[in-house]
Amino acid sequence: MNKREVKQYGIERGMFFGNGALEKNPSYDEDEYREHAFDCEDLDRQMSPFEFLAHDINETGDRAEGLWEAFDEGIAKGIDVIWGRSRKLKKAS
C-alpha cells in the first residue's frame, strides 16, 4: 500500500459520496453539497468494510500519517470532481 494507491481509493470514495449527495438533492448549492458528501463519508467510516482499510493503513507504522493524509486529500478531490462535472452538465443544458 502506497500513497498513490491510497489517494486513488480516496478519490473513488469521494466520487461515490459526491454522486450520492447529488442524487439526494441535485439542487444543492456547493456548501450544502460538500457538507452532505463529507458527512456521509464520515458516517461510513464507522462501518465494517472501512475498518479493514483503516487497519491496513494503521499497520504501516511510521507511514500511516502520510497515508491518511493522502486518503483524505483523495476524498476531497473526488467530491470536487463530481461537483465540477455537475456544474459543467448544468451549463451545457
Domain definitions of the chain by residue range: 3-92
DSSP string, 4-36: HHHHHHHHHHHHHHHHHHHHH-TT--HHHHHHH
**Contact residues for 84 (Cβ-Cβ < 8 A; gap 6+):** none
**Amino acid 1: pLDDT:** 85
pLDDT at position 92: 78
Tell me the percentage of the chain whose pLDDT exceeds 90: 88
Stretch 65-84: mean pLDDT, rounded?
Answer: 98
Question: 61: left (phi > 0), else alpha (psi -120 to 50), else beta?
Answer: left
Using the predicted structure, report yes or no on whether residue 19 has a pLDDT greater than 90. yes
State the CB neighbour count (10 A cutoff) for residue 80: 17
Q: What average pLDDT does this structure show over 10-37? A: 96
Name the pTM for this structure.
0.92
Q: Report pLDDT for 93.
A: 67
